[in-house]
Chain A
Amino acid sequence: KAGVTQTPRYLIKTRGQQVTLSCSPISGHRSVSWYQQTPGQGLQFLFEYFSETQRNKGNFPGRFSGRQFSNSRSEMNVSTLELGDSALYLCASSFIRGTYNEQFFGPGTRLTVL
């Protein structure tokens, strides 16, 4: 099976712009989660989607949003970029059965905001 893919891998934007990141989960996985990793804050949960529904959202401002499509692919969008949004954005996909929920991560998108 192909792993989790994320595009683009690297991105440079300027303050005030917006950005859209994409994640394709492992085939058969219906849950997609997004995380932000920065040196100061570590790995922080952004949101989780399952069957096109957002089930959980982390403590991030409304500038961070996401969606999931019927084929389980997911996108996240950050509007009005700030310097502090520079980070590695990681996507994880899961196959969920009962309480079993093992996450598999993509290679990440490294966003730099200038």
Chain B
Amino acid sequence: GIQVEQSPPDLILQEGANSTLRCNFSDSVNNLQWFHQNPWGQLINLFYIPSGTKQNGRLSATTVATERYSLLYISSSQTTDSGVYFCAVGPTSGTYKYIFGTGTRLKVLA
């Protein structure tokens, strides 16, 4: 099955810093999403981005499907950005499930 790797596993930033989170996947996919999991466990949709580039405020994402990776950029980080960021890929032909990466745990210090 598809393997999804996220890096770095942990990241500590000072408020105001920028960061780049990476998601590598081992096979072609039809769908790719980025989520932020808040301290209460809720998964918040950040981007649906199987290819191309999108921006939403201080966050942007780029997926290069032909090279099987996606990047999430966080600019001018705030303490409320803390939490775990997940990349999820799928479903591919013949299956109906998303595969999640292991996540990047981000802590933003005031």
Are B31 and A42 interface neighbours, CB within 8 A?
no
* Interface size grouping (class) on chain B: 20 to 34
Can you list 11 A-B contacts with CB-CB less than 8 angstroms, sorted by A residue number?
Answer: A37-B41, A43-B100, A55-B96, A58-B97, A100-B31, A101-B90, A102-B31, A102-B45, A103-B33, A107-B42, A108-B42
Are A31 and B96 interface neighbours, CB within 8 A?
yes
Q: Please classify the interface of chain A as helix (H, G, I), strand (E, B), loop, or mixed, using the class held by over half of its residues.
A: strand
Query: What are the residues of chain B within 8 A of A110 when measuring CB–CB?
Result: 41
How distant is B24 from chain A, measured CB to nearest CB, in Å? Answer: 16
Query: What are the residues of chain A within 8 A of B35 when measuring CB–CB?
Result: 105
Binary contact track B11-36/A, C-beta < 8 Å → 1, others 0: 00000000000000000001101010
B101, closest chain A residue (CB): A42
Q: Please classify the interface of chain B as helix (H, G, I), strand (E, B), loop, or mixed, using the class held by over half of its residues.
A: loop
Q: B74 contacts the other chain (Cβ, under 8 Å)?
A: no
List residues of chain B with CB under 8 Å of any chain A CB.
Answer: 30-31, 33, 35, 40-43, 45, 48, 86, 88, 90-91, 95-100, 102-103
Q: How many residues of A contact B (CB 8 A)?
A: 26
Knowing A31-B96, A45-B99, the reply to whether A101 touches B42 (Cβ < 8 A) is no
Knowing A99-B30, A99-B31, the reply to whether A108 touches B98 (Cβ < 8 A) is no
Are A101 and B91 interface neighbours, CB within 8 A?
yes
Are A48 and B96 interface neighbours, CB within 8 A?
yes
